[in-house]
């Protein structure tokens, strides 16, 4: 299987042949959005330049701004929490479940304050979080839920496809993801008002765009009295060439996801019977899409280290094992911030309670689990190579048995 195949090349040539003129048929972004919405099963899909811009647009659509708090998981790629800072809001970190590694709804509830405006749960590694519990909390406290599904295409939760349960959902087309066009992203929603706000935010606040319309017309811009910009927005639109590649990938979505799930099954068979390596727990009713395959090393049950395991796996023919991200609040950038209720970066007259500071011990489960996680690649296009890596894993287990 090729990551980028003939269909992608044909669509790129179609854009180039159009000379980028809409009148000559260059409307790949519109075609991509329509295809994505239909495949996921939502009313609106709005393409973005990357999977961080997607969440920024979603936060803006939800009305998140200075002084607001947004609850995010402690364990995930940092864009999920950095984008809250982009919105001039305050990231509040919730702990994780020790077995699924996803955000813990019970800790979400504990972290809610009068300033909480939204929740961004992440489908970590391709596994949905507990969306029923999260949506119940959101309804109770009137919070917006933005699914971060960058790592999850065609995952399912109790029969529902991931990306359809929150008020909005964000997907990524970054180069390591199930679908890619090098960089890119998509926001989905069933709410027309939110879709209108998302579109305007990612299109410089143009008056002439909307939920299902990504371009302004010549009739509009050829009027000298036309007021173009009705709200603040960024230029977060996805270029036509990237849209061409992404469209072909959407049309191949089932094939690309199936390949990763097949490789994950091979890894599962290889570790069967091993008591000191535990895969990410997949609860009943969930379907994992395996952006990557993750194992938790029981460091208390073995006499070797995480680094020892990685080194031996590579010696025996495996690729380098990826580590999980540090809990976001322990990254140096977050050590620069200290927020008081109301979003003030220092104590002032609006201070009313406990400071929101980023320190060790904030999310103890995430801190305990993170150093034990081993992330194995699933994006092998050649199954013979995948078999070699699985054999390397099996042989590594035998070495340490």
Q: What is the tens place of the pLDDT at every residue in 61-105?
A: 999 998 899 999 999 999 999 999 999 898 999 999 999 999 999
Kindly report which listed range (122-131, 149-158, 223-232, 278-287) carries the lowest average pLDDT score.
223-232
Give the Cβ contact number of residue 163 at 10 Å: 28
Q: Are residues 238 and 126 in the same domain?
A: yes
Q: Are residues 118 and 235 in the same domain?
A: yes
Please state the rounded mean pLDDT for residues 323-352. 72
Does the annotation mark 311 as catalytic? no
Note the pLDDT of residue 43. Answer: 98
Q: Is 85 within a domain?
A: yes
CA 69 to chain centroid? 19
- Note the residue count of the chain: 401
345, pLDDT greater than 60: no
Residue 174 · residue 50 · CB < 8 Å: yes
Note the pLDDT of residue 183. Answer: 97
Q: Is 344 within a domain?
A: no
383, pLDDT greater than 60: yes
pLDDT band at 181 (very low <50, low <70, confident <90, very high): very high
Please state the rounded mean pLDDT for residues 356-364. 89
Q: Rounded to whole angstroms, how far apart are CA atoms 271 and 316?
A: 16
pLDDT band at 120 (very low <50, low <70, confident <90, very high): very high
For position 300, which CATH number holds?
A: 3.90.1150.10
DSSP codes, 199-265: HHHTBTTBTT-BTTB-S--HHHHT-TT---BSS---B-PPPHHHHHHHHHHHHTHHHHHHHHHHHHH
Catalytic residue among 111, 177, 296, 377: 177
Q: Rounded to whole angstroms, how far apart are CA atoms 176 and 246?
A: 13
Note the pLDDT of residue 353. Answer: 45
Kindly report which listed range (127-131, 229-233, 371-375) carries the lowest average pLDDT score.
229-233
Residue that is last in its domain, among 219, 252, 285: 252
Q: Rounded to whole angstroms, how far apart are CA atoms 30 and 47?
A: 9
Q: Are residues 241 and 291 in the same domain?
A: no
- Note the pTM of the prediction, 2 decimals: 0.94
Please state the rounded mean pLDDT for residues 350-355. 48
22, pLDDT greater than 90: no
Please state the rounded mean pLDDT for residues 198-222. 86
pLDDT band at 304 (very low <50, low <70, confident <90, very high): very high
pLDDT band at 213 (very low <50, low <70, confident <90, very high): confident
254, pLDDT greater than 60: yes
Instruction: Kindly list the strands in the beta sheet with 69-73, ordered across the sheet, starting from the edge strand earlier in the chain.
Output: 44-48, 185-189, 168-172, 144-148, 116-119, 69-73, 90-94
SS3 399: helix
Q: Rounded to whole angstroms, how far apart are CA atoms 149 and 120?
A: 10
| Nearest Cα to Cα of residue 191 among 261, 239, 144 | 144
Which is more confidently placed, 194 or 229?
A: 194
Q: Are residues 129 and 102 in the same domain?
A: yes
pLDDT band at 339 (very low <50, low <70, confident <90, very high): low
Residue that is last in its domain, among 226, 252, 278: 252
Percent of the chain scoring above 70 in pLDDT: 94
| Nearest Cα to Cα of residue 74 among 355, 357, 345, 326 | 326
Domain residues for the domain of 185 are 6-252
Q: Which residues of 286-301 are buried (b: 16+ CB within 10 A; e: fewer)?
A: bbbbbbbbbbbbeeee
Cα angle for residues 196, 239, 80 (degrees, 5° grid): 65
374, pLDDT greater than 90: yes
Tokens coding 73: 């998981």
Residue that is last in its domain, among 188, 221, 252: 252
**How many domains does the structure of the chain reveal?**
2
Q: Which residues of 313-331 are buried (b: 16+ CB within 10 A; e: fewer)?
A: beebebeebeebbbbbbbe
Q: Is 361 within a domain?
A: no
| Nearest Cα to Cα of residue 276 among 256, 248, 296, 292 | 296
pLDDT band at 226 (very low <50, low <70, confident <90, very high): confident
Percent of the chain scoring above 90 in pLDDT: 82
Q: Are residues 15 and 57 in the same domain?
A: yes
352, pLDDT greater than 50: no
323, pLDDT greater than 60: yes
Please state the rounded mean pLDDT for residues 38-51. 98
Q: Are residues 170 and 65 in the same domain?
A: yes
For position 233, which CATH number holds?
A: 3.40.640.10
Q: Are residues 270 and 388 in the same domain?
A: yes
């Amino acid at each position: 299987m090729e990551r980028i195949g003939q269909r992608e090349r044909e669509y790129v040539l179609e854009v180039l042949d159009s000379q980028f003129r809409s009148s000559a048929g260059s409307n790949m972004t519109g075609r991509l959005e329509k295809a994505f919405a239909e495949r996921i099963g939502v009313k609106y899909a709005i393409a973005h330049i990357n999977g961080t811009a997607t969440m920024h647009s979603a936060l803006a659509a939800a009305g998140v701004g200075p002084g607001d708090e947004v609850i995010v998981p402690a364990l995930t790629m940092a864009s999920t929490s950095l984008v809250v800072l982009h919105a001039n809001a305050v990231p509040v970190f919730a702990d994780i479940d020790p077995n699924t590694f996803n955000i813990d709804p019970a800790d979400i509830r504990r972290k809610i304050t009068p300033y909480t405006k939204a929740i961004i749960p992440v489908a970590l590694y391709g596994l949905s979080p507990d969306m029923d519990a999260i949506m119940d909390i959101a309804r109770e406290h009137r919070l917006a839920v933005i699914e971060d599904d960058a790592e999850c295409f065609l995952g399912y939760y109790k029969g529902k496809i991931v990306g359809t349960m929150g008020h909005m959902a964000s997907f990524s087309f970054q180069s390591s993801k199930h679908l890619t066009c090098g960089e890119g992203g998509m926001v989905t929603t069933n709410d027309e008002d939110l879709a209108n706000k998302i579109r305007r935010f990612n299109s410089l606040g143009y008056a002439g765009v909307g939920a299902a319309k990504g371009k302004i017309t010549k009739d509009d811009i050829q009027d000298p009295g036309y007021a173009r910009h009705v709200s603040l927005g960024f230029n977060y639109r996805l270029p036509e060439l990237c849209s061409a590649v992404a469209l072909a990938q959407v049309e191949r979505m089932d094939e690309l996801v199936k390949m990763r799930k097949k490789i994950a099954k091979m890894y599962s068979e290889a570790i069967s019977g091993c008591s000191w390596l535990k895969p990410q727990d997949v609860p009943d009713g969930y379907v994992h899409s395996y952006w990557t395959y993750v194992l938790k090393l029981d460091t208390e049950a073995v006499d070797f280290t995480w680094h020892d395991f990685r080194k031996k796996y590579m010696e025996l023919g495996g690729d380098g094992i990826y580590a999980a991200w540090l809990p976001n609040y322990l990254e140096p950038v977050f050590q620069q911030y200290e927020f008081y209720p109301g979003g003030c970066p220092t104590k002032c007259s609006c201070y009313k309670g406990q400071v929101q500071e980023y320190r060790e011990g904030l999310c103890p489960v995430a801190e305990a689990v993170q150093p034990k996680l081993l992330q194995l690649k699933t994006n092998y296009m050649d199954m013979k190579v995948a078999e070699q890596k699985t054999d390397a894993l099996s042989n590594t287990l035998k070495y340490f048995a």
